[in-house]
Structure 1
Amino acid sequence: MPPDSPATQVTQAALIPEAAAGRRVDQALADLFPEFSRSRLTAWLKAGQITLDGTVPRPRDAVRGGEQVMLCAALEPATRSQAEPIALDILYEDAHLLVVNKPAGLVVHPGAGNPDGTLVNALLHHDPDLAVLPRAGIVHRLDKETSGALIVARTLEAHTALVEQLAAREIHRQYEAIVNGTMIAGGTVDAPLERHPVDRLRRAVREDGKPAVTHYRVRERFRAHTRLECTLETGRTHQIRVHMAHIRHPLVGDTLYGGTLRLPKAASDALVLTLRGFRRQALHAERVALAHPIHGNPIEVNAPAPADLLALAAALRADTAAHADDGR
């Protein structure tokens, strides 16, 4: 459905099961119509677009069981963004969801300064029906300069289920990162995050922030840098970037959080050129694992590392090998 099309009319009938007797109306409706979020159903209830035995109940009213439910509502487009023929690298796709490999440099959502040319515009071109879903079906974020796997729901039922999985921390997200400094071992950063008190573009570790937990493991050590595997327990904005800077190992290329150019002693011209040319945070969402939102079967999707991150790791690896005998 194109973003400028009229609302889609939804008409469904159902029967409150006897086993639901005593439950709140909104709870019973959420079980009957899992494709719609509880907030959407509540809004329709309050607008008189859902009736039980011909009357309009309050969301908190209790059901008796056996009532006839009629849902007649307008499903308005959730986005007014326009479809654009932007190429997508689709890693997984079925009727209910897809996983795309977002390139670095692509903004996810339209906003101030980026009204078009975003992932949302590309998704609407790929599947116009995404216009009725919140954020065109996108259930989590990646920063503009972070590459990798991003999950997109294609139906209301899938969107509701995926948002619930995300809130319950049941979606596994794994990242590859290259940070400044040589790390001895992996660990966990458990530090709450909130907006920076002065710079509104940044996030900061703050005692009054929201809980944020990042686990990291060393994959490869270089002379003055480390390649990490990071997994998230929470998904706060800029979480890995802020947490790595917090432990004094900011991501290579992340000038917002202190990832300024750092060179090993006697670095080759080739390495200097590679490091100077890497102009984004060295972060890639390499893997997502989740239960399918409809049938529950496990899904694991891997996003291959982009060429710039591979080239950076290769240059650091070559530099480390060239200086393997230093100091012996």
Structure 2
Amino acid sequence: MSQAQSSNSTVPETDFNLLEDSEDADNHTSDSTATRLSLQFQLDESYLGQRIDQVAAAVWTEFSREKLKQWIKDGNLLVDGAAVKPKFKCEGTESLSLDVELEAQTRSLPENIPLNIIYEDDDIVVINKPVGMVVHPGAGNVTGTLVNALLFHYPKSVELARAGLVHRIDKDTSGLLVVAKNLETQFALSKQLEKKSVYRVYDLVVYGNIIAGGTVDQPIKRHPVDRVKMAVLPGGKDAVTHYNVKERFQNFTRVQARLETGRTHQIRVHFNYIGHGLIGDQVYVPRVRLPAGASVLLEDTLRGFRRQALHAAKLGLVHPRTKEEMLFEAPWPEDFTNLVEVLRTENKAY
């Protein structure tokens, strides 16, 4: 594949529809500085009868409800220019104004970790994440994460929830992520994700032969017994994955999948559900499945590929400020390229 690229022109057609028609990402306005934030939001009738603390949490999702509640009590969040109590009931016609000095939103520390930056401007950073990098600090992973790297690369991201992250990919999945550099952009990108107008395409290699493309529309929730796993289960969150067959081998298939939703482990769970688990997936396909008569090279390659064969290859979005449609691409990492090349020679279709 060619070098990672971006385009500010109209996104070309591919196997899938790209960006949906999108109105303005939100109706916030701001005259924020680096540390001072001034936001306004005009309510409509959909907010009739709701408490102001509930409304604020729905409008400004990047802040916790408790923080917003405290701002209401402190008079930083006004309704029609007046201070109110958190239990104030809205009529759906009010204008909200939030004027605060931002504090650090994360306790994570900056670390000088190199980033493969595909594109950057004053509002967004698009990063090609390597295999093995955790996106957000958590239990057992408090350092060495993408958040730690972002805090070093752009110190003001400490003022943003999750250092500006609006979506994630798994530790052992490689590929593209977009990160916001200011709160307005974070709101706008989050809104695009909610509207399903962010174009996310993944390359993957699965066990078995998939005959044709299709769609998996199955709800996903946490596995009731194995809490590390997600599963297709009734009552889960809606999850939709569209896919096309790109290359067939004797015992494997290279697929391109587009996410309509973004649930945890979505692609891995959906393909395992239809009987085509990903090569190397240690969680959902814990045993390597060797085809009969596999060569030494093929056997060594399959046993040595110890992460899910999944790469976030394309990312399309509408730039929150310029409203231009942008498409970014990232080449396969070396291990993914090697896997496909070995399958082409050692497991080629008849």
TM-score, L = length of structure 1: 0.84
Call closer, same or farther: CA 1:269–1:145 in 2, change over 3 Å.
Answer: same
Aligned pair 1:94/2:121, yes or no?
yes
Query: Which of the residues 4, 7, 10 maps onto 2:36?
Result: 10
Q: 1:148 to 1:12 in 2, by over 3 A?
A: closer
Contact persistence 2:62–2:161 (CA under 8 A): no
State the secondary structure of the residue aligned to 1:162. helix
2:266 paired with 1:253: no
> Is the contact between residue 38 and residue 100 of structure 2 (CA under 8 Å) also seen in structure 1?
no
CA contact (8 A) 1:287 1:300 kept: yes
Residue of structure 2 aligned with 1:111, choices 128, 135, 138:
138
Q: What corresponds to 2:248 in structure 1?
A: 221
4+ residue runs over 3 A deviation = 11-14, 23-26, 33-43, 50-55, 57-65, 69-72
SS at match of 1:130: helix
Aligned counterparts, 1:24-103, within 5 A? 44-51=71-78, 55-57=82-84, 60-61=89-90, 72-103=99-130
In 2, are the aligned partners of 1:180 and 1:259 still within 8 Å (CA)?
no
Q: Secondary structure at the match of 1:227?
A: strand
Among candidates 151, 158, 171, match of residue 131 of structure 1: 158
**Percent identity of paired positions between Structure 1 and Structure 2:** 47
1:256 is paired with a residue whose SS is coil
Q: For residue 248 of structure 1, report the CA deviation from its aligned partner.
A: 0.7
Measured against aligned partners, the alpha-carbon deviations of 1:285-319 in whole angstroms (never above 9, x if no partner) come to 00110111122111111111101000000000011
8 Å contact 2:63–2:161 — kept in the other structure?
A: no
Question: Once superposed, what is the RMSD of the aligned Cα atoms?
Answer: 3.2
Q: Which residue of the partner structure matches residue 26 of structure 2?
A: none
Structure showing greater radius of gyration is 1
TM (norm. structure 2) is 0.79
Query: In structure 2, how many angstroms separate the alpha carbons of the residues matched to 1:179 and 1:38?
Result: 39
Residue matched to 2:5: none
Deviation at 1:43, TM superposition (A): 5.3
Deviation for aligned residue 1:187? 1.1
Equivalent position SS for 2:347 = helix
What's the CA shift for 1:258?
1.8
2:305 paired with 1:278: yes
* Contact persistence 1:101–1:150 (CA under 8 A): yes
After alignment, is 47-56 or 145-154 more displaced? Answer: 47-56
3-state DSSP of counterpart to 2:244:
strand
Q: Is the 8 A contact 2:192 2:198 kept in 1?
A: yes
Measure the CA separation in 2 of the matches of 1:194 and 1:13: 35
Q: CA deviation digits over 1:116-163, x for unaligned, max 9?
A: 110100111100000011110010010110000011000000000011
User: 5+ unaligned residues in a row in structure 2: which ranges?
Assistant: 1-33
CA contact (8 A) 2:218 2:239 kept: yes
Q: 1:236 aligns with which of 245, 259, 263?
A: 263
Q: Which has the higher contact order (CA 8 A, sep 6+)?
A: 2
Query: For 1:149-183, what per-residue CA distance to the aligned partner results, in whole angstroms no more than 9, with x for missing partners?
Result: 01100000000001111111111100000000111
Which residue does 1:4 correspond to in 2? none
Residue 224 (structure 2) pairs with residue 164 (structure 1): no
**CA distance 1:245–1:51, change in 2 (3 Å):** closer
- Counterpart Cα distance in 1 of 2:261 and 2:44: 34
- Structure 1, unpaired ranges of 5+: 1-7
**Deviation at residue 9 of structure 1 after TM alignment:** 5.8
Q: How many residues align?
A: 309
